[in-house]
């Protein structure tokens, strides 16, 4: 059962948490809005809808740092007012004092996981539509994901890709559907592999099927090598194709399974799958990191130095997280290890400093 002291600490934490989250979100929105507004000629209503769909993603990204700073300010305030000393004199350990904070962070982490799995993919898809179709006027770069395919549209061409490696500019499992002005299917091209060289795509091991009105049956012809020219709006396709962002965990798992069964490379998507789970614990790990640096003696004049050090550790966490994910996507780390290594390393740092406190 939570005591009056627990409720007092939890209330202080939540006040700092929501205040910090509001500040971070407003700052992010302000800077991003000015940059986007200056570089694009979109109207304010369109930009308003874009940021409405973008808002859940911003909140999701800011939750860990908001938890970290809320932990810092809550325990530092208790330390400055000597309430921490009073609690220690009552036989309370630092772990017991921090319990209501960690319980609150655990609840936030669960909500973060639910938000990232259920809410964020739908809002991200709507945000991408507004960005690529209404703001950039490049509908060819807008992707939708159905079953095991990533779908695009460029003028009168619909095409899908089973697996895309943007770094190597390669795609696997491609199908192109060409339509006339009346949206009658006139041609289909399928290929196992494609090398994307700007507007020219070099296809390998495929077939062309023609649907001529004067012919009862479609005419097909296989090819080993073939080059096709794509429109300019799909040249930077790799930068916009991130199916993991618009899928829930269940959908992404099915997407990976289907592509694996087809013999396609799914390393990139497997890392993203585990990253979604691992990131949900970022808030908890960051809060653990904040505890030892917020209760050091204020008389030593190290209060601000400790806060700066802890914020530095937060950036270290992000560097470790992004580096580990990059190594995983390049095949240098297993997907599961790539997603969880940062939590293990930074959690170990937090445990080490907490043990040194002996409180």
Q: What is the DSSP letter of 177?
A: E
The whole model's pTM is what?
A: 0.83
Q: Is 187 exposed, middle or buried (0-12, 13-18, 19+ CB in 10 A)?
A: middle
* Cα 249 to Cα 117: distance, rounded to the nearest angstrom: 6
In tens, the pLDDT along 66-110 reads 999 899 889 888 888 888 888 888 888 888 889 999 999 999 999
Question: Is residue 116's pLDDT more than 50?
Answer: yes
Question: Is residue 277's pLDDT more than 70?
Answer: yes
Within a 10 A sphere around the Cβ of 59, how many other Cβ atoms?
19
Give the pLDDT of residue 16.
93
Q: Is 95 exposed, middle or buried (0-12, 13-18, 19+ CB in 10 A)?
A: exposed
Give the pLDDT of residue 309.
66
From residue 251, alpha-carbon distances to 113, 243, 245, 264 in Å are 15, 10, 11, 17
In tens, the pLDDT along 337-349 reads 999 999 999 888 8
Beta-bridged to residue 221, according to DSSP, are: 208
Beta-bridged to residue 150, according to DSSP, are: 145, 161
Q: How large is the average pLDDT for residues 31-48?
A: 84
* Cα 99 to Cα 153: distance, rounded to the nearest angstrom: 52
Give Cα 181 to chain centroid, integer Å: 39
* Cα 122 to Cα 112: distance, rounded to the nearest angstrom: 15
Helix axis angle, 120-129 to 44-80, nearest 10°: 140
- Please give the helix or strand (H or E) that residue 330 lies within, else none: none
Give the pLDDT of residue 42.
80
Residue 227, helix vs strand vs coil: strand
Contact call for residues 201 and 194 (beta carbons, < 8 A): yes
Question: Is residue 35's pLDDT more than 70?
Answer: yes
In tens, the pLDDT along 297-307 reads 554 444 566 56
In tens, the pLDDT along 163-203 reads 887 777 788 899 999 998 888 888 999 999 999 887 889 99
Among 14-23, 141-150, 200-209, the minimum mean pLDDT is found in 141-150
Give the pLDDT of residue 304.
61
Give the pLDDT of residue 300.
46
Q: How large is the average pLDDT for residues 124-142?
A: 86
* Rounded to 5°, angle at Cα 29 from 26 and 31: 105
Beta-bridged to residue 278, according to DSSP, are: none
Give the pLDDT of residue 305.
61
Q: How large is the average pLDDT for residues 106-120?
A: 94
DSSP 38-102: HH----HHHHHHHHHHHHHHHHHHHHHHHHHHHHHHHHHHHHHTTHHHHHHHTT--HHHHHHHHH
What are the structure tokens assigned to 172, written together?
A: 């696997």
Q: How large is the average pLDDT for residues 230-257?
A: 78
CA atoms within 13 A on the CB side of 146: 5
* Cα 94 to Cα 85: distance, rounded to the nearest angstrom: 10
Q: How large is the average pLDDT for residues 242-249?
A: 83
* Cα 104 to Cα 330: distance, rounded to the nearest angstrom: 36
Give the pLDDT of residue 151.
87
What are the structure tokens assigned to 114, written together?
A: 């639910």
Question: Is residue 325's pLDDT more than 90?
Answer: yes
| Average confidence score pLDDT of the chain | 85
306 or 267, higher pLDDT: 267
Please, which residues have CB within 8 angstroms of residue 349's CB and are 6 or more apart in sequence?
289, 313
Give the pLDDT of residue 301.
46
Residue 297, helix vs strand vs coil: coil
* Cα 191 to Cα 82: distance, rounded to the nearest angstrom: 70
191: left (phi over 0), alpha (psi -120 to 50) or beta: beta
Among 9-18, 41-50, 240-249, the minimum mean pLDDT is found in 240-249
């Amino acid at each position: 059962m939570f005591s009056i002291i627990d409720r007092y600490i939890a209330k202080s934490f939540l006040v700092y948490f929501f205040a910090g989250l509001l500040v971070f979100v407003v700052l992010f929105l302000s800077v991003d809005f000015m940059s986007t507004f200056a570089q694009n000629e979109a109207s304010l209503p369109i930009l308003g809808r874009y940021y409405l769909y973008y808002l859940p993603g911003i909140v999701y990204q800011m939750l860990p740092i908001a938890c970290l700073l809320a932990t810092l300010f809550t325990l530092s305030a208790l330390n400055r007012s000597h309430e921490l000393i009073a609690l220690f004199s009552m036989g309370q350990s630092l772990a017991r004092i921090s319990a209501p904070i960690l319980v609150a962070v655990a609840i936030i982490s669960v909500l973060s996981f639910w938000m990232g799995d259920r809410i964020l993919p739908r809002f991200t898809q709507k945000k991408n539509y507004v960005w690529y179709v209404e703001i950039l006027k490049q509908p060819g770069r807008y992707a939708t994901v159905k079953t095991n395919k990533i779908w695009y549209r460029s003028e009168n061409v619909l095409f899908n890709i089973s697996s895309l490696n943007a770094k190597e500019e390669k795609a696997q499992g491609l199908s192109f559907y060409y339509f006339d002005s009346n949206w009658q299917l006139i041609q289909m091209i399928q290929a196992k592999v494609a090398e994307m060289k700007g507007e020219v795509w070099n296809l390998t091991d495929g077939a062309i099927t023609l649907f001529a009105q004067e012919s009862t049956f479609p005419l097909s012809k296989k090819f080993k090598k073939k080059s096709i020219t794509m429109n300019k709006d799909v040249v930077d396709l790799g930068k916009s194709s991130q199916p993991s962002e618009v899928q829930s965990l269940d959908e992404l798992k099915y997407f990976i399974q289907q592509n694996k069964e087809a013999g396609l490379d799914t390393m990139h998507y497997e890392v993203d799958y585990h990253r979604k789970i691992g990131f949900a614990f970022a808030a908890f790990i960051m809060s653990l990191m904040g505890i030892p640096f917020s209760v050091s003696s204020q008389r030593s004049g190290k209060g601000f130095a400790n806060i700066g050090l802890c914020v530095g550790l937060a950036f270290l966490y992000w560097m470790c997280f992004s580096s580990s994910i990059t190594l995983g996507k390049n095949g240098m780390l297993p997907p599961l290890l790539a997603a969880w290594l940062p939590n293990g390393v930074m959690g170990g740092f937090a445990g080490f400093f907490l043990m040194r406190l002996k409180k």
